[in-house]
Structure 1
Amino acid sequence: MKSSIFYNAHHSPVGAFASFTLGFRGPKGGLGLELDGPANESVYIGIEDREESGQFHALPFYGGAENAAHDFDSEHLSELAVAQAILPFAEEEIERRMSASIDEWRAGDLTFRLISPVRSVPDPEQEDAKGALTPAVLAELTIDNRSGKLPRRAFLGYKGSERSAGMRILDQLGLIGVGQGTSTAIATMDSDVYAGLAWQPESILSPHLHENLSFMLGSLGLLVATVEPGEKRTFQFAIGFFRDGVATSGIPTQYLYRRWFDQVEEVLIHALTHADKTIALAESFDRALAQDMTPERHFMLAHAIRSYFGSTQLLEREDGRPLWVVHEGEYRMMNTFDLTVDQAFFELGLSPWTVRNVLDLYVERYSYQDRVRFPGNPNSQPGGIAFTHDMGVANNFSRPGYSGYEQAGLHGCFSYMSGEELMNWVLTAGLYLKRTGDQNWAESHRNTFLACLQSLENRDHPEPAKRNGLIGLDADRCLGGAEITTYDSLDASLGQARNNLYLGVKAWAAYLVLGYLFDNLSDPEAANRARVQAHRASETITNSADQDAFLPAVIGEGVDARIIPAIEALVYPFVIGIETEPFHELNRTLTRHFKAVMDSGICRFGDGGWRLSSTSRNSWLSKIYLCQFVAERILKEAPDVHADKAHVQWLLDPENAYYAWSDQMLEGKAVGSRYYPRGVTAALWKSHSVDPLQDLTKLLAGAMTELNA
């Protein structure tokens, strides 16, 4: 796979809502904490020229360093300005190799590695999670001066972007580092390195007097080392993040890592002390990830995993209970349920307790009771339990029973998603029980499962004899508007919830999962009710196919667009292991529909990429990945290699590459859902058995086994 290497990628500790983003040319990365995009800082990574002392070459991740003396010296009398002495490496000199845990750059005699291992998080109520939750990533700077004849300096540093705090030199004993305020820092324990602050990096690299290196007006900080002729040396650094005090409103919390760390210096020391084990874990995981994957799929999955971890946040409530949050990329909505259900496959392979944690909080605080209405009818009908779209935005938890997103009186984007979120809770609960066998948890939610079944039935039709298994009514909270789906910025083909084909198959899957849950609870009456509804949904969908095998995007409402996500929800019974032979006609109908939309080309873009709806130019990569898994494992289609190549190019397009991994693409251009976590649906590509969740669990366990051997 030959493509541009200049794309941003996350390098993030687990649960810190932090990212050292790097890879896009210019000052477009840096150390970001709780941000909706890259920090847009200059990052300096470089080496002195082999032959010309005092001249340097750097990776191209910085901008012009302006001497700010003129802000203080109106008569221009100061002598602080120095000549520029750093040039970027030529593009042809630079190589990059990225996997999920290690991102490596090579240029000339310089090798720079960023290490942020993929690792599980132990349940902090049961085990010590300090090692997994240390809010730092590692860096290694290797200089090969074995063929050089002069000492050569190498450097790593950044220009902080936080306006409320200045740059500083760390003064912790045994630690050499620079940081900004108390929240971000880079440090080493190598005593051969020195630190400095200045307006220009050259002032630190070639200082007139070392006494002046602690110039606190300086906007950038560097760590500098020297490698003698004939030597090859590797310098190890930690890049740390820290947020003190109360982290969120609505539900007061602090970061859970505050159990062990009181300042960023402690974070850095712990990370450096345990660096060798961290690096071994990263290398082991990357070896396991690369096995049996094409370069295109390996790149997309590794890139997506990085963006997922950059959005994760593990908090501690006032009573000591952990609270897991995944922020929604650039939007920073918290635990958006449309993402939770899709990310669950990956999360259950790594840290199953986090899925339970989110499900429980939805029941505790973000469920509500509502009624439902037929379209155009002001009279409400019995409804039942529903769940919010999210739990708040950007560290602000929303009030109980309400999201930060949903608004009344609308027919499109920002309307309520009550029906789909109800299904999402059921489906995620089924996946969790399958992975863990947690019968105590299932028993504790027996009444929740019953309430979900009743609510889904009521949203179909108030009269049982008139039910068809689909969503037929809108939530009363819409106040005359209409419910939507997770495809909120698409037309009615995927945006409208009522009688939607995509949501119809999802309802069928939810009823099957409810049957599975009630079987586990020895409730045959409720299980039978759920399966009756599943059969109704199956029959309704199957009977809607036309003579050419196409299924309408919205059933019975004259919306004849064709959609790929008709097949999406087949994933849930397959992954859980629910027998679907009684629904072989539905499977056959969906298979014929998928073949028809793909073979006809109406659901492809000109570059071969997948078009989720024939009437929209919008597509979401995370959903494409999920549908690819369904097509290959359930419908027995061959992998679409040509589409994979197109999807890689979407991510690497110069207009998109700044945002790391992005989801929503308008004919290959990132128009929304950027800097986004949901691409980990691609983790399902690593499954080749009849138990995908076990396969994903073994992916991590295999790395740990190799590490401990």
Structure 2
Amino acid sequence: MTKSAPLSGQLSFNAQHSPMGAFMSFTCGNFGTRGGIGLQIGQPGDQEVFLGYKDGDRYSDGTLKCLPFYTAAVNRSADAFLVEQAGPAEQNVKPDATPFQEGEFTRSYGWASDVWEADGLRFSVYSPFGAIPDPEKENRRRMREGLLPAVVARLELDNTKGKSTRTAMFALNHARPGSRILEADLGKGRVGFAFRREAGGAAELFDYTKGEKGKKIDAGPFVFMRWSASDGVRKRYNPVHLLGSCPGFGFEVPAGKRYGITIALGSYLEGFQTNGMDGRYLYTRYFKGLADVLRTALDNAGKMVIAAKALDEKLAAAHLSAEQKFLIAHATHSYYGSTQLLEVDKKPFWVVNEGEYCMMNTLDLSVDHVFWELEHNPWVVRNLLDNFVRHYSYKDEVKVYTSEFAPTTETMQMDPSQTPPPPDEAQLKRPYEKKPGGISFCHDMGAHNNFSPQGRSSYELANLTGCFSYMTQEQLCNWVLTAGCYVAKTRDTHWLKGQRHVVEACLESMIHRSGDVGFSQFDSTRCAGGQEITTYDSLDHSLAQTRNNVYIAVKSWASYWALKLMFRELGDGSRQKRCEELAAKVAAVVSDQAVDGVLPAIFEKANPGYASRILPAVEGCMYPLYFVNTGWAGHSLDEVYGSPSERRMFEVLREHTRRLLLDPERRNLFADGGIKLSSTSNNSWMSKISIFMHVTRRVFHLDADPAIAEVFQKADAAHMKWQTEGSSYWACCDQIVSGEGKASRYYPRIITSALWLE
């Protein structure tokens, strides 16, 4: 049996532990900060998490020794109720805990678990994942198993070598009022607490002295709720105060015994949770309430632990470095924390929220999530595609300028590492003619549980040249590529035939935007006086502009491949041939831009981005690789690059990548060895780095070069530190600025790292 080895290096970092589709996380791990249960938020919860033990029975005056997942020694919530001279019991609250110091505990982090051990104390959180069941195909039992909005944990205390009783406890000290003891019937020997009606925990006690299977102790753990964990444990009288903020569970362990509690941590949000479109959680169709959720989680805890350990073993056995395994595990934990499966108009509605921003189904994230989702639950990808067509597609026109725009000397001399300035008066008033555009798709479907009006995103605005402008061309490519990947994986020609009109419209729209070169030459009229941008909205000139951008050009080439294969399935030979010609044209234009073996980021010499060199130039190569690996392409990767222009583009992109990675000036590497996507920006994205590294290995096989293999080895080590040190509070973080997580935190997109398992 292969297990996750204890981590070395920094142990203080948050991890999300989440069920599938519940938009809920139990977060802990970062020392000295709050965490606990968070619902429908893009950040850790607001509770102090107390996990520890003390010498003596529960009533002893021993000080709790806890893992350091709390902010302060004393919670003073009681102060508002105290009279200065009165001195009631709550005024004498003792310090909550003495924390374990670094070096006194270990942490093992798996694909579906997180285990802490210290002086006989062991705390394990398990969050197994698998296929999210399709409600149109699966029975009620399977739906309850797959959509259970809970994770399980175990808190064990080994006192087999002790000579006197010890007492262990788990508690959550809430920053907001609303804690209560759960009075519902959870089963014999079980106790529970809740926060209002939305979330809570339940526990039962086992004797593990004779083995891991354990024997249930019907007397169960004790429950408490005061203003502090230590006070709640030791109170002989009134251990429960309904004004208390800190509910928890405790248990005594006699000398010579090893006891532990299994803990269920779950949520239940009833009724409509979204605006714009009325959406409720699909799990409410299968569970009656919070007590039902917690009872079910405890009933199935054994199976959940076994499933989590099996996932841990699978990742541990992969032929990857420890750093790569960590990044995959960390990414998976955060991905599921952003997932939300709703019911809208009595139909399932799949949502992945965009981390801290909570934008719903950001399409430029969805196209990156697609590989993971198709591996586990392809139906959610179909659901996403259909909902974009039904609710968040639009038709536009494009701007064809009638006069040349002469950039100012200041613009031409601008440092490419600076973000593009807002449009000046000349740009805003530059005359243009409107020409047919076509179909495209919104950046997202809304934010913070508020669906946007149909055909509109929460993000995009007119008259901008940088962040928050429209991504019309890129989102068109993203829908096409997602659809292509879906058909490649599932061979769902029935769905494809039903969307034939959309696929045809996508090709027409691609052509209208591409001028004579086959990729984006015109901005959408939705931009008004501004210009379209790419998903790399917070980077510099190298990736901000859509027109004549090498990243968009190669992504457009991949989109024509996806369209070509879809038209092949539809029996439309004419359009299939047209896509083949367009792909070859794009490849030829891209190849012609190389200068001294390197491609400029922007193919406009007057643009500051012309001086930038970007690694995402090769990102579009991911999709034909996927079409080949699934067998859908019907031929080898060499044949994908079979035409003369595509073979030349392959060689150009390969050489471009090789030169950037081995650049003596290290312009695409940070000082710590991490990958720098743009030579002129210190902002790098882990999700996109993951795709780039995969393409470099699996398409170009450049890791066969020992020098590049060494670059990647050092990069993996740096990338792990970006998460554990640079982003420790925010769990998995995507946007890293010089090694520190600055944006796109608590983020799902880094699930692209799971591509490395192929």
Select 2:74's aligned residue among 53, 65, 75: 65
Cα distance between partner residues in 2 of 1:403 and 1:572 = 26
1:616, 1:116 → 2: CA distance? 36
Write the distance in 2 (CA, Å) between the matches of 1:622 and 1:158.
33
Cα distance in 2 for residues equivalent to 1:133 and 1:295: 31
CA distance, structure 1, for counterparts of residue 184 and residue 167 of structure 2: 23
For residues 162 and 68 of structure 1, what CA distance do their matches in structure 2 show?
Answer: 10
Q: What are the within-5 Å matches in structure 2 for residues 148-547 of structure 1?
A: 148-163=162-177, 165-174=178-187, 175-190=190-205, 191-209=219-237, 212-291=238-317, 292-318=319-345, 320-375=346-401, 376-461=430-515, 467-546=516-595
Shift of 1:460: 0.7
**SS in structure 2 of the partner of residue 96 of structure 1:** strand
Q: Which residue of 1 aligns with 2:43?
A: 37
Q: What SS class does the counterpart of residue 698 from structure 2 fall into?
A: helix
Q: Whole-Å Cα distance in 2 between the matches of residues 277 and 83 of structure 1?
A: 39
Q: In 2, distance between residues paired with 1:557 and 1:366?
A: 36
Query: d(CA) in 2 for partners of 1:85 and 1:276?
Result: 32
Note if contact 1:384-1:454 (Cα within 8 Å) is conserved in structure 2. yes
Task: Note if contact 2:517-2:585 (Cα within 8 Å) is conserved in structure 1.
Answer: yes
Q: After superposing the two structures, state which structure 1 stretch, 596-605 or 468-477, moved more.
A: 596-605
CA distance in 1, matches of 2:182, 2:306: 30
* Counterpart secondary structure, 1:42: strand
**Aligned pairs, how many?**
676
Counterparts of 2:77 and 2:25 in 1: how far apart (Å)? 28
Check conservation: 2:144, 2:287, Cα contact below 8 A: no
Cα pair 1:19 1:31 within 8 Å, conserved: yes
Deviation (angstroms), 1:56: 2.1
Contact 1:168 1:181 in 2 (8 A): no
Shift of 1:668: 1.1
> Which residue matches 1:604?
669
Is contact 1:136–1:239 with CA below 8 Å preserved after alignment? Answer: yes
Partner of 1:567: 618
Which one-letter code corresponds to 2:336 in the other structure?
A: F
Give the AA of the match of 1:645: A
TM-score for both structures, normalised by structure 1: 0.93
* Alpha-carbon distance between aligned partners in 2 of 1:84 and 1:491, rounded to the nearest angstrom: 50
Which residue is equivalent to 1:100?
111
Show the 5 A alignment for 1:646-661: 646-653=718-725, 655-661=726-732
Q: Give the corresponding residue for 2:598.
A: 550
Would you identify which runs of 4 or more consecutive aligned residues in structure 1 move more than 6 Å? Answer: 50-53
Scaled by the length of structure 2, the TM-score of the pair is: 0.87
Alpha-carbon distance in 1 for matches of 2:114, 2:680? 39
C-alpha distance in 2, partners of 1:85/1:323? 44
Query: Mean alpha-carbon deviation: is it higher for 69-78 or for 142-151?
Result: 69-78
Of 76-85 and 596-605, deviating more is 76-85
Q: Indicate conservation of the 8 Å contact 2:73/2:96, yes or no.
A: no
Cα RMSD after superposing both structures: 1.4
Query: Does the Cα contact within 8 Å between 1:101 and 1:282 map onto a contact in 2?
Result: yes
CA–CA distance in structure 2, aligned partners of residues 166 and 109 of structure 1: 30
Of 675, 678, 696 in structure 1, the residue corresponding to residue 746 of structure 2 is 675
Identity, in percent, stands at 39
The one-letter code of the counterpart of 1:434 is A
SS of equivalent residue, structure 2 residue 51: strand
Q: 2:179·2:193 contact (CA, 8 Å) conserved in 1?
A: no
Q: Quick one: distance in 1 between partners of 2:196 and 2:74? A: 20
Asked if 1:624 corresponds to 2:624, the answer is: no
Mean Cα displacement is larger for which, 257-266 or 396-405? 257-266
Report how far residue 177 of structure 1 moved. 1.2
- Please name the residue that 1:697 is paired with: none
- 1:374 aligned counterpart, secondary structure: strand
> Residue deviations 1:291-316, cap 9 Å, x none?
21210000001000000000000001
Q: Kindly indicate whether the alpha-carbon contact (under 8 Å) linking 1:250 and 1:398 is maintained by their aligned counterparts in 2.
A: yes
Among 636, 641, 644, the residue aligned to 2:713:
641
Question: SS state of the match for residue 92, structure 1?
Answer: coil
Q: Quote the offset at 1:157 in angstroms.
A: 1.3
Between 362-371 and 374-383, the greater mean CA deviation after superposition? 374-383
Between 1:262-271 and 1:327-336, the stretch displaced more is 262-271
Cα 1:70–1:480 change in 2 (3 A) is closer
2:233 aligned partner, one-letter code? L
Q: Give the superposition deviation at 1:85.
A: 5.9
What letter is aligned with 2:180?
Answer: M
Once the two structures are superposed, what CA deviation does each residue of 1:377-416 show, in whole Å capped at 9, x if it has no partner?
A: 4211110001000000010110110000000011110000
1:140 and 2:154 are equivalent in the alignment: yes
Q: Which amino acid aligns with 1:604?
A: L
Tell me what 2:412 maps to. Answer: none
Query: What is the rounded CA distance, in whole Å, between the counterparts of 1:101 and 1:179 in structure 2?
Result: 25
The one-character-per-residue Cα deviations of 1:50-108 (angstroms, maximum 9, x if unpaired) are 79962321110113332433312223311222333621112111100011211100011
2:679 corresponds to? 614
Q: Which residue of 2 aligns with 1:706?
A: none
Residues in 2 aligned to 1:169 and 1:150: alpha-carbon distance in whole angstroms? 32
Superimposed CA distance per residue, residues 238-265 of structure 1 (whole angstroms, 9 cap, x where no aligned partner): 0011111101111101100001222211
- Separation of aligned partners in 1, 2:676 and 2:95: 49
1:65–1:201 Cα contact (<8 Å) kept = no
Q: Is the contact made by 1:115 and 1:279 (CA closer than 8 Å) also made in structure 2?
A: yes
Matched residues in 1 for 2:381 and 2:111: separation? Answer: 22
The residue that corresponds to 2:406 in the other structure is: none
Of 572, 592, 605, the match for 2:655: 592
- Any stretches of 5+ residues in structure 1 without a counterpart? 462-466, 688-709
Paired residues of 2:281 and 2:342 also in contact (CA < 8 A)? yes
Question: What CA distance in whole angstroms lies between the structure 2 residues aligned with 1:665 and 1:479?
Answer: 32
Deviation at 1:150, TM superposition (A): 1.0
Aligned to 2:24: 18
Which residue pairs with 1:691 in the alignment?
A: none
Measured in 2, the distance between the counterparts of 1:673 and 1:509 equals: 26
* Aligned-residue offset at 1:580: 2.6
Instruction: Please report how far the alpha carbon of residue 491 of structure 1 lies from its aligned counterpart in structure 2 after TM superposition.
Output: 1.6
Structure-2 separation of matches of 1:2 and 1:280 = 25
Give the distance between the partners of 1:239 and 1:173, measured in 2 at CA.
13
Deviation at 1:144, TM superposition (A): 0.6
1:122 is paired with a residue of what secondary structure?
coil
In the alignment, the residues of structure 2 paired with residue 137 and residue 76 of structure 1 have an alpha-carbon distance, to the nearest angstrom, of 45
Question: In the TM superposition, what whole-angstrom CA distance separates every residue of 1:338-388 from its partner, at most 9, and x where no partner exists?
Answer: 100001011111111111110000000100000001354421111000100
Q: Structure 2: which 5+ residue stretches go unaligned?
A: 1-6, 206-218, 402-429, 634-639, 704-708
Q: Distance in 2 between matches of 1:74 and 1:125?
A: 60
